[in-house]
A and B are shown apart, each in its own frame.
Chain A
């Protein structure tokens, strides 16, 4: 198993009640693992206890990056959320905890 933390870096932003989390691979090998294994289903499972979803994934191979859009993720949106992190800026770090099957020879 390999953590997303070992393959990529992430940034989270918000719009209304939607979280936008990018995943940027450190290497070509890491990109191959991520694009194959970091599915919207896996991401929905990781965020399921705080977000209703759905999750959409956009691929940017030029940038070796994935962009995840998670709907209904911010407790009603920045302006009315009861959460401490109402923008969900820290949600990028939750992405880094996801574990993938990976391939030992391809992890950096």
Chain B
């Protein structure tokens, strides 16, 4: 049941305008990255020219923490995201010069180790002694090992079924602990798993002292975070369709920023020096991105309802967002459990010219027969004809293309079986249908899969530590 809230405009007028810690009625939060593999240079442009207060790097995909847990098990000093130091090195001079604080989840499986590495980097750069606040407590792997009956949300199976293969278990922490970390005055706040939009809500909570019963403001901060967390996807990335949806200067696309005011209203914008576009169309696409039920977007800080959100173009490349609503947070934290799930083996080879599709299909049959003859069986095997059926599946109504690339991928618990998939596919060069060319090297990757469980809040204990003196 939705909480009864006054209309947004009423709320806006009834609140005394308070100002931020820095005495301003608004703060500007820039995006430093929206994924572990995101581009680096746009963050530098924002740090230099964005007149930012905060720069937020969101770098943890669902399985990133699981992967970095493995790294830490081999080297206890590591386990933060691999490009963390490269990113910090690039932006640190401008952040120091312009007094921009950094918030990031690049700590991954080892936020404390990440903080120490950043401090060492700063000393090496002669940038001085940089204090880092460290958020921990998201790692609940020891706890969930004692709770095998927890139900996996995706399959309804008990956690017990994957416990022997578990690689990590991390709770999505909220903005509260990140805001407290900002209160330490540390220049950099580094975390492990924190809900992506909460990383952006935290600076606003900290600056404007928003509380946990102030749902419209919490919801606004989270919607701002939701719009910003995928970096350029709100300012012209993932949008251009030549002749239909144009994006100016896509090659010079930068990262967006949000101006959040103390009353919870905010705008999304971009630098004039970058290409891209910020308008109602780009913001609508990103507002709905991965939102599922728009009246029930669950975060650790509140349940967000965007069904009354209105977007307005208030200036060139500036969109104002009004009307997010919120309800109290749920009594649980969502926990992502990473686990080993066997191997995927893959091979590719190309066919062109007349009857290319039929020759590729014959090649696929041959590979499967040879794998079977060698005694390899697979719970799941997929045949794709790239250029014909590989991204949207096969439909008989589609015309045959001039050329196709055969791709065979299969899942198995046996590494040798996985290797055989690519080996037999490449062998079509000499042992397959006519004209098989350009076979790829056989590829094998270990699968780190993820599922989720819910944990009662009181079992999770977020903590803040400090590296260096703030």
Q: Is B154 an interface residue (CB 8 A)?
A: yes
Our pick among A16, A49, A78 for the contact of B393 (Cβ within 8 Å) is: A49
Q: Contact: B285 with A50, CB < 8 Å?
A: no
The CA of A12 and the CA of B435, in the complex, are separated in Å by 37
Residues on B with beta carbons closer than 8 Å to the beta carbon of A18: 292
Q: Contact: B311 with A63, CB < 8 Å?
A: yes
The CA of A7 and the CA of B190, in the complex, are separated in Å by 44
Residues on A with beta carbons closer than 8 Å to the beta carbon of B286: 11
CB A44 to nearest CB in B, in angstroms, measures 14
How many B residues face the partner with a CB closer than 8 A?
51
Q: Contact: B285 with A90, CB < 8 Å?
A: no
The CA of A41 and the CA of B323, in the complex, are separated in Å by 31
Q: Contact: A84 with B292, CB < 8 Å?
A: no
Q: Contact: A22 with B292, CB < 8 Å?
A: no
Q: A50-B393, A60-B294, A84-B390 are in contact. Are A11 and B289 (CB under 8 A)?
A: yes
Closest-by-CB residue of A relative to B290 is A13
Q: Contact: A77 with B284, CB < 8 Å?
A: no
Q: A49-B393, A82-B411 are in contact. Are A14 and B284 (CB under 8 A)?
A: no
Q: Contact: A84 with B450, CB < 8 Å?
A: no
Interface residues of A in 66-101 (CB under 8 A from B): 67, 69, 75-80, 82-85, 89-91, 93-94
The CA of A56 and the CA of B291, in the complex, are separated in Å by 13
Interface residues of A in 14-48 (CB under 8 A from B): 14-18, 20, 22, 24
CB B135 to nearest CB in A, in angstroms, measures 24
Q: Is B382 an interface residue (CB 8 A)?
A: yes
Residues on B with beta carbons closer than 8 Å to the beta carbon of A85: 390-391
CB A7 to nearest CB in B, in angstroms, measures 12
Q: Is B44 an interface residue (CB 8 A)?
A: no
Residues on B with beta carbons closer than 8 Å to the beta carbon of A82: 344, 380-382, 409-411
Closest-by-CB residue of A relative to B230 is A13
Q: Contact: B281 with A90, CB < 8 Å?
A: no
The CA of A65 and the CA of B290, in the complex, are separated in Å by 14
Residues on A with beta carbons closer than 8 Å to the beta carbon of B344: 80, 82
Q: A85-B391, A90-B392 are in contact. Are A80 and B447 (CB under 8 A)?
A: yes
Q: Contact: A94 with B392, CB < 8 Å?
A: yes
Residues on B with beta carbons closer than 8 Å to the beta carbon of A104: none
Q: Contact: B450 with A79, CB < 8 Å?
A: yes
CB B383 to nearest CB in A, in angstroms, measures 10
Interface residues of B in 47-72 (CB under 8 A from A): 62-63
Residues on A with beta carbons closer than 8 Å to the beta carbon of B391: 83-85, 90-91
CB A64 to nearest CB in B, in angstroms, measures 8
- The interface of chain A, by Cβ under 8 A from chain B, is 5, 9-11, 13-18, 20, 22, 24, 49-50, 56, 58, 60, 62-63, 65, 67, 69, 75-80, 82-85, 89-91, 93-94
Which 5 pairs between the two chains have the least Cβ-Cβ distance? A13-B290, A22-B288, A82-B382, A50-B393, A11-B285
